[in-house]
Amino acid sequence: MQSGRTVFGLISLLLLIMLVVIQPQPLPQDVLENWRVINAVGSTEGSDSRTEALENLLKYQPWRVDLWHQLAKEALDTGDDAAAVMALEHLEGIESLDAEMLFQMAELYLRNGQIDQAEQTWQRLLSQENLSEDLYLELVRYQRLEGNFDFAREAAQGWVMQYPTSGKANYYAGLVHLAADPDRAMIWLQAAGSLDPVYQTRSIKLVDAAETAKRNEDQAYQLVVIGRALAYIESWDLAEEAMNRAVHLAPQAAEAWALLSQVQQKLGRDAAPALEYALKLSPDSTIVRSSAAAYWRSQGKPDKALEYLQSLAEEQPLLGIWQVELGATYQMMGKLDIALNHYLNAVELEPENPSVWQSLAAYCFHTGIQVQDLGIPSARTALQLDPQNADLQGLMGWGLLTSGDLVNAEQFLRKAIELDPGNATAFYYLGVLYLQDQKGGDANQAFNRSVELSEGGSIGWMAARLLEEMEN
């Protein structure tokens, strides 16, 4: 009996102790203060303060997965790379990160110079199933920006394997493979053009270039042809890769070095070494001298560009292209009358060439000189010579927009888009038209489409600027 009472007493004591232990304890004052900082909506507390508060809370409550997620988001939003990496690495240890989080983690590693960790994270990302097309596109574009073309190709290949009937997936797979594996690239590009009309015009241009290149056994020459086609669609990074491959295969190919310098100018790189080497190899080459003119014009020294262009015009007096280039150079110098004379010379030399009429019309629309009397008639002549050319339909729309004829301008711009649904320039001018007509929603859609289709080109940059102005 005594034993039973002893056991009962011990159990009662243990229960009492447990009740004391498990009773809610008052939170330390600093924990309460950290929660106040985190939960203060619309307060003067800065984002850095919230990040620090979350880090402090996690010292007390490291099991709170929701707080780790919140810390990762807050740190990413404020640019606190160290805190973001710590949070994401901790989360990866306790759960599978989704694709977006893996992408962000790889970005952070790369930004902090942790190349191996970044590449391992990219690989884990690619191994995930059911990645969205948007994430594949973001991944390919990011790798291109970083100059990691091999990984961009690997990502694009995974994209097209997962979405074989997507025109966009086929287009990007073909685009990034064109310099490295043109035969495979052509298969994807041909598929892209048939699957989605948005990519038809560009795909045809690139496939034609690849087929032209194949007719010559010189591999360096093939890469130059492909590089020029990539430059034409303003894929400057891939054009640079093609030209770099060309000069590696043929170090004495002056024209490849000259064209490399032109691409480097567009990318904002130092183009002088490549151009100087090209001039050393072949100072009399037409392509080398025209590249030198382009270089000096880009450097804000049009007078030096004139030296090259004038000699080319004298040597090849029947070609309108040199008159157009002289006109563009004098236009840059502000000598608009002299510039106009050169554009007029170009159409006189080659009256059946729509591109010279296009240049004359563009001069008028850019400067506002003789828009009605000369610019629009020149655009009409170009269009008569090549009526199915989407760029010329867009040119006519631009001219009519410049003259204030919004109704007819819209018709031509829509015709340009009908002929080439991937025409970023036509969407840009359509956005400008809607902006002038006070149709902000339509303008926003057109500008966003232009940015998407331009893929970093100059017209997309202009559209992005107008979008920013509309938001402010």
pLDDT tens, position by position, 181-204? 999 999 999 999 999 999 999 999
Token pair 């295969």: residue: 249
- Per mean pLDDT, which of 32-41, 142-151, 218-227 is the most reliable? 218-227
Q: Is the pLDDT assigned to residue 387 strictly greater than 70?
A: yes
Q: What is the pLDDT of residue 103?
A: 74
What distance in Å separates the CA atoms of residue 331 and residue 312, rounded to the nearest whole number? 18
Q: What is the pLDDT of residue 48?
A: 57
pLDDT tens, position by position, 45-85? 445 566 666 666 666 556 666 666 666 677 666 777 677 76
So what CATH class is 294-350?
mainly alpha
Q: What is the pLDDT of residue 299?
A: 94
pLDDT class of 404 with cuts at 50, 70, 90: very high
Render 98-159 in DSSP notation, one character per residue.
PHHHHHHHHHHHHHTT-HHHHHHHHHHHHTSSS--HHHHHHHHHHHHHTT-HHHHHHHHHHH
Q: What is the pLDDT of residue 418?
A: 97
Which H or E run contains 453? helix 440-454
pLDDT tens, position by position, 234-286? 999 999 999 999 999 999 999 999 999 999 999 999 999 999 999 999 999 99
Which phi and psi (to 5°) does residue 280 adopt? -65, -40
pLDDT class of 142 with cuts at 50, 70, 90: confident
Q: What share of the chain is helix, strand, coil (3-state, %, to 5)?
A: 80, 0, 20
Helices (H) and strands (E) in the chain, counts: 27, 0
Q: What is the pLDDT of residue 45?
A: 44
- Exposed/middle/buried for residue 444 (C-beta within 10 Å: 0-12, 13-18, 19+): middle
316 CB-near residues (< 8 Å, 6+ apart): 286, 322
pTM for the model:
0.81
